[in-house]
Amino acid sequence: MSSPATILSATAARHPSKPALVVGETVLTYSELAERAGRVAGALRERGIAPGDRVSIYAQNRWEWIVAYHGILRAGGVVNPINVMLTPEEVAFVLNDCGASAIVASHDKAPILLELAADVPSLRDVFSFDEPPPGVLAFADLMASDASPPEVAPEPGALCTIGYTSGTTGHPKGAMQSHLAVFLNCALTATMHVRTHEDTVVTALPAPHVYGNVAVNSIFMAGGTVVLMERFDPAGALALIEQHRATLFEGVPTMYAMMLAHPEIETADLSSLTRATVGGQTIATSTVEEWERRSGAPLIELWGMTEIAGLGTTHALYGPNVHGSIGTALPGIGVRVGGLEDPSATMPPGEPGELMVRGPIVMLGYFGNDAATKDAVEPDGWLHTGDVAVSDEHERFFIVDRRKDMIVTAGYNVYPAEIERVIATHPAVAMVAVGSRPDELKGELARAYVVLRPGTAATEQEMIDHCRPHLAAYKLPRSVAFVPDLPKTSTGKIMRRELHTLD
């Protein structure tokens, strides 16, 4: 059955005593994980959760999050994963927008949800992963239930999850994903990266994010072991790779930059790694090369988005790993570079345009928002991604930048990612992000925000001079700010739109 609701039970039948999930000191086998998810499913049904009802999850990474996700799907519910960084106002919007019937959250979030409950008419139950405050139910009671797990056989095209976009402009939009889309994304990712039951993955990617979801469930599908960090920290990640003899690490560019800049990298044993993956944002080729030198394993770039339930492109493990490229389309998925002015046109190799995707992983649409759906998906099924890209003669793709992040300087288009890639090669740089500043004469100017590696020093002029041999004069950053850290999302992606707050 092409449904993520069946992944745990199918793998538990093959590897019942195999460790499936490790979070801190908690280790759950496949049979234990499937049994707990089944009990949650039965208890949710007894509490009136019917097939198609939306149930939200609002918490940091933890093993109970994974149980809740699979329990909700097993009950026939639709999972609404909520970013833990959302404000109460944003959470209320999401709950109302998707019509959530219940929500499961951590103890620190529960009081907020009780306050919001009166403003969310559809919300019947609030569950806490921890000791519940008055008025909140205990998730532990669901796991202790003796209710029989329901037999669920959702149609492949039925609604599986509603994942909300970051909402950089206006309200966030709920991307509706089918069971087939989520299942297929995990299956195709496992295939491209040759994930097997012998794999152990260490990851701190947030479970509510599609990249985190695929990182976890593609390994579950293969029968491997997931070591899930509650929060990322570079020393902790390096230690877990060594402790568990991990074969795979998955993260965003800032995670690799932070690990490489940490003193523990000098003594960390990464020899068990057979590959690692990176996505979420463009990554400097110099960072890829340094990680591969340190680990002895390929760092595989990938690209994806909420609207396609995870990945759209990546490199096959045994294929050419072209640094700077996000790889080729997943099998059976259409990917092309459309014209910036005419999306029906396909740009020739080397010519920039908007990356577009078509196929069974594309969302069903934005929940309750036909106008936004129409703007995002062409009548023939091609999805606008908002990423500017180029292709080569082998149908490999290269991200130039986010279309909305483009800086226009005196009529020239300047892409922050291009500047970031160059500055990141400076030996003193741990992390870098480029934003824009208004300018009366030229409209916008590029400004670089740099986090230096411990024990190093650099000047603004030195950074600008470092760029001169590699960038056209109009692309050079006009100023450089040295900062202790960069604003990040819950996934660790750098938020360019917040860079101005560092000035």
Q: Is 426 helix (H, G, I), strand (E, B) or coil?
A: coil
- Cβ atoms of 474 and 445 within 8 Å: the answer is no
Measured in degrees and rounded to the nearest 5, phi and psi for residue 303 equal -140, 140
Report how far residue 278's alpha carbon sits from residue 351's, in angstroms, rounded to the nearest whole number: 25
Alpha-carbon distance of 111 to 126, in angstroms, equals: 10
Give pLDDT tens digits along the chain (503 positions). 579 999 999 999 999 999 999 999 999 999 999 999 999 999 999 999 999 999 999 999 999 999 999 999 999 999 999 988 887 888 899 999 999 999 999 988 888 888 888 889 999 999 999 998 888 999 999 999 998 888 878 899 999 999 998 654 467 899 999 999 999 999 999 999 999 999 999 999 999 999 999 999 999 999 999 999 999 999 999 999 999 999 999 998 889 989 999 999 999 999 999 999 999 888 889 999 999 999 999 999 999 999 999 999 999 999 999 999 999 999 999 999 999 889 999 999 999 999 999 999 999 999 999 999 999 999 999 999 999 999 999 999 999 877 778 787 866 678 788 899 899 999 999 999 999 888 776 778 899 999 999 999 999 999 999 999 888 787 899 999 999 999 988 778 788 888 989 98
Beta strands of 360-442 (E only): which ranges?
Answer: 365-366, 383-391, 397-402, 407-409, 412-414, 429-439
Task: Give the sign of the dihedral formed by CA 359, CA 361, CA 365, CA 366.
Answer: negative
- Rounded Cα distance between 94 and 166, Å, is 11
Q: Report the DSSP beta bridge partners of residue 408.
A: 413
Judged by DSSP in three states, 46 sits in helix
Lookup result for tokens 């290269």: 398
Contacts of the segment 254-259: beta carbons below 8 A, 24+ positions apart: 254/281, 254/431, 254/486, 254/488, 254/492, 254/493, 254/494, 255/204, 255/492, 256/283, 256/287, 256/291, 256/299, 257/287, 257/424, 257/430, 257/431, 258/232, 258/234, 258/430, 258/431, 259/234, 259/291
Instruction: Confirm if 480 and 448 have CB atoms less than 8 A apart.
Output: yes
Residue 40 CA to residue 229 CA, distance in Å, equals 23
For residue 474, the tally of other CB atoms under 10 A from its CB is 13
What's the pTM?
Answer: 0.85
Q: Among 244, 210, 207, which residue's Cα sits nearest to residue 66?
A: 207
User: Contact at 8 Å (CB) between 82 and 58?
Assistant: yes
Let me know if 51 is exposed, middle or buried by CB neighbors in 10 A (0-12, 13-18, 19+).
Answer: middle
Total residues found in the chain within this entry: 503
User: Token pair 């993956």 is at which residue?
Assistant: 277
Measuring CA to CA, how many Å separate 80 from each of 87, 91, 96, 187?
A: 16, 11, 12, 21
pLDDT for 115: 83
Which is nearest to 174 in space by CA: 116, 95, 120, 73? Answer: 95
Q: What is the DSSP letter of 290?
A: H
DSSP track, 2-37:
--GGGHHHHHHHH-TTSEEEEETTEEEEHHHHHHHH
What letter would DSSP give residue 60? Answer: S
What whole-number distance in Å separates Cα of residue 45 and Cα of residue 127? 15
DSSP 268-280: ---TT-SEEEE-S
Given the structure tokens 């152990």, which residue do they identify? Answer: 200
pLDDT (tens digit per residue) in 314-327:
999 999 999 999 99
Site of tokens 């590699």: 470
- Which residues lie closer than 8 Å to 419 by C-beta, 6 or more apart? 434, 446, 448, 467, 471, 475, 476, 477
